[in-house]
Structure 1
């Protein structure tokens, strides 16, 4: 776990810095400087771009990670890297032509409830393409065990430039309409910087030759496209559905709530950047004992860290919503629903990496497609009646079912088990502290109350987890810090 823990800790710190900047944007600058309408428009454009991104990337970011370690010669690796960059670009051409042919129909469909989005429709494919190639070049760096810089660009850089753009709106250097276009430009800039960094790590020698195992690559890529589409639809599909049934301002209210809840998944996102290629390597070498050990370590470590984040959010949620405009307060229930779904997915450790690098990935992906259909149906049923809360419930139910299916699949088919007795210990600590602190209100300014309650929770949570020896790795880090202090 040496390199995993080292880069995971760096990635976690970077990601939380990014989420800190994002929190300033989401909780204050977006609602105040942009207003609900253009905040919602920006979110809709990014969500739609994220949904179509897997089609533009054609799954090459995951394919690169899975197959790169299987090549033995430098010539084979260079051919493969060239293929992962050039092949998606070739297939993007018919997608763009298809979009142009049906452009008017698409515009009518997505803007019939909210005409304001009509002007910005073309930004969706542009931003999606930038996202796709960012992920490909980020994977280029990750297979060479360089995950930190790309994570910094993704988690901090994008949000920091958005912060500067929001300041530009405040000083009237740009308008709220300009901001939507600038946001897409920021993703293009992130792509360029990441591409140059990836080429610095491994200089490209582009070759117009197909890899020898191209059939296996294309077969895997097809299913990864489905996988990425499933994951992104579960993540952002609810915002697209809200646009079809409600006035667009509701996307802004929903986005604030989901952003808060998504902070819970940060440890998972950080660890997976480095765990994914290691998982692929262990499975390729059939080292299943080491793989099961990694599975359990990632599960309990993510549970401890993610449980702490979830606890801090849940017990402070009422004070947190006192800091945003009053019309956003209907999202508190959404935070709990989305947060619980993210926590359950979090404690599955590197479950996704195991599935997508196994021979069983096809069946699980089709199951994911089935769950996407369920999500869409549930949103159609619940949004008209319950609004954003109905959408959150549909997401909670869908993600929980999907996570359970993946867990059972790994247990039954590969006999890998993520949970130990420490899983129950960690869960008990989290539940007890939630019951103690949630109903304990501090009669003071919300920021001071949040800070004070968070300090008390941190002391109690760290102490109990340390004394109960929930995670050996985290205890080792704490012991190292204590020794340095001594």
Structure 2
């Protein structure tokens, strides 16, 4: 776990730094500087772009990671890298052309409830294409075991540039309308920087050639498009549905709640960047005993770290909502529902990486498509009845069902098991500490109360987990820190 722990730790620190900047933007600057309408509009555009991104990427970011280690010569690798960059661009042209033909119909559909969307609709495919090629060049770096810089751009760079743009709104250097366009420019800039870094790591030698096993590549790519679309629809589909049934300001209220809950998934996002190529290599080499060990380690490590984050959010949620404007305060239940779904997905470890690198991945992907239909249907039922609470409930049900399906697939088909007795101990510790601290509120300023309670939770949680050796790797990391302090 040397390189995994090293780069995962760096990625976790970077990702939390990014979420720290994102918290400033989301909880304070967006609501106050942009207002609910343009905050919601920006979020809606990014959500739709993220949903269509897999269509522009044609799944090549995952295909690159899976198949790169199977090529043995520099010539074969150059052909493969060229293919992963040029093929999506070729197929994006007809997608854009189709969008142009049906532009008026799409415009009427997405803006029938919220006309403000109409003037910015063309930004969606532009940002989607930037996101797609960012992921491809980031994968280019990851297969060469360089995951940190791309993660920095993705998690910190994008939010930092947005912070600067928000400051520009505050000082009237730009308008809120300018900010929406500048956001698109920020994603284009992130693409250029990541592309330059990928080329620095491995100088390209572009060739117009089809790599060997092209049939296998394209077949895998097709299913990965489904996979990416499923994952992104489960992540952002609720915001798209909200735009169809409610005034756009509700997306802003919902976005704050989901941002808070998404912090729980940060450790998984950080570890996934480096674990994915290692998982692909272990499966290619048929080292299933080592893979099973990795599976268990990633599961318990993510459970301990993610459980700590979830606990910190849940016990402070009431004070946290005292800080944001009052009109946003109806999302506490949303935080709990989305947070629990993310926590369950997180404790599955590198489950996704295993599935996407096995020959059985097709069945789970089609199941994912079915669950997206379920999620859309649930949103259509519950949003008109319960608003953003209904959308959160639909997301909780659909993501939980999808996670259970993926877990059962890996257990039944591959006989790999992520859970141990430590899993139950960790669940028990987290639940008991939640009961102990949630109802204990300090009569202070909310920020002071959050700080004080967080310190108490941190000390208690780390001590108990260390004492019971819930995770050997985390205990070893703590020992290293203690040794350095001494």
TM-score normalised by L of structure 2? 1.00
Give the corresponding residue for 1:205: 205
Listed one character per residue, the Cα deviations across residues 369-392 of structure 1 (whole Å, up to 9, x for unaligned) are: 000000000000000010000000
- 5 Å-filtered alignment, 1:259-278, equals 259-278=259-278
Structure-to-structure mapping, 1:65-76, within 5 angstroms: 65-76=65-76
Distance 1:39 1:281 in 2: 42
Look up the match of 2:322: 322
Flag structure 2 segments of 5+ consecutive residues without an equivalent.
none
- Alpha-carbon distance between aligned partners in 1 of 2:485 and 2:407, rounded to the nearest angstrom: 41
Give the number of aligned pairs. 486
* 2:238 is the alignment partner of 1:238: yes
Q: Which runs of 4+ in 1 moved over 6 A?
A: none
The answer to whether structure 1 residue 49 and structure 2 residue 49 are counterparts is: yes
Q: Which residue of 2 aligns with 1:359?
A: 359
User: Matches of 1:449 and 1:184 in 2, distance apart?
Assistant: 38
CA offsets per residue over residues 63-113 of structure 1, 9 Å max, x none?
000000000111000000000000000000000000000000000000000
- Written as runs of structure 1 = structure 2, the 5 A alignment for 1:223-372 is 223-372=223-372
Q: In the alignment, is residue 165 of structure 1 matched against residue 131 of structure 2?
A: no
State the shift of 1:483 in Å.
1.1
Q: CA deviation at 1:187?
A: 0.1
Q: SS of the counterpart of 2:460?
A: helix
What does the per-residue CA deviation read over 1:437-458, in whole Å, with 9 as the maximum and x for residues that have no partner? 0000100000000000000000
1-side partners of 2:170 and 2:485: how far apart? 44
Supply the distance in 1 between the matched residues of 2:74 and 2:294 (Cα, whole angstroms): 29
Q: Distance in 2 between matches of 1:235 and 1:185?
A: 23
Runs (5+) with no aligned partner, structure 1 = none
Residue number in structure 2 paired with 1:390: 390
Distance in 2 (alpha carbons) for counterparts of 1:329 and 1:196: 42
TM-score, normalised with respect to structure 1: 1.00
Q: How many angstroms does 1:313 deviate by?
A: 0.1
Q: Secondary structure at the match of 1:323?
A: coil
Counterpart residue number, 2:131 = 131
| Separation in 1, partners of 2:209, 2:37 | 48
1-structure distance, mates of 2:405, 2:312: 29
C-alpha separation in 2, matches of 1:483 and 1:226: 48
CA deviation after TM superposition for structure 1 residue 191, in Å: 0.0
Structure 2 SS opposite 1:61 = helix
Distance 2:360 2:319 in 1: 45
* Aligned-partner SS, 2:483: helix
Q: C-alpha distance in 2, partners of 1:455/1:70?
A: 48
Residue 174 of structure 1 aligns to a residue whose secondary structure is coil
How far 1:428 moved relative to its partner?
A: 0.5
Cα distance between partner residues in 1 of 2:250 and 2:332: 14
Per-residue deviation at 1:298?
0.1
- Distance, in Å, in 1 between the alignment partners of 2:38 and 2:484 is 49
Q: In 1, distance between residues paired with 2:294 and 2:184?
A: 38
Correspondence 1:69-218 to 2 at 5 A: 69-218=69-218
Deviation at 1:174, TM superposition (A): 0.4
Match of 1:448 in 2: 448
How far did residue 310 of structure 1 move? 0.1
Q: Deviations over 1:355-408 (max 9, x none)?
A: 000011000000000000000000000000100000000000000000000000
2:415 corresponding residue in structure 1: 415
Identify the residue that residue 21 of structure 2 maps to in structure 1: 21
User: Alpha-carbon deviations, 1:406-435, whole Å to 9, x = none?
Assistant: 000000000000000000011110000000
1:69 counterpart SS class: helix
Superposition pairs of residues 423-438 of structure 1, within 5 angstroms:
423-438=423-438
CA distance, structure 2, for counterparts of residue 392 and residue 357 of structure 1: 31
Deviations along 1:288-333, whole A, 9 cap, x unmatched?
A: 0000000000000000000000000000000000000101011100
Distance in 1 separating the partners of 2:335 and 2:317: 8
Measure the CA separation in 2 of the matches of 1:484 and 1:246.
Answer: 54
CA deviation vs aligned residue, 1:338-366 (integer Å, no higher than 9, x gap): 00000000000000000000011000000
Question: How much does 1:116 deviate?
Answer: 0.3
For residues 150-183 of structure 1, the C-alpha deviation after alignment (integer angstroms, 9 at most, x for no partner) is 0000000000000000000000000000000000
Is it true that 1:38 corresponds to 2:38 in the alignment? yes
Give distance in 1, aligned partners of 2:458 and 2:212. 53
**How many Å separate the matches in 1 of 2:389 and 2:184?**
29
Deviation at 1:212, TM superposition (A): 1.1
Partner of residue 402, structure 2:
402
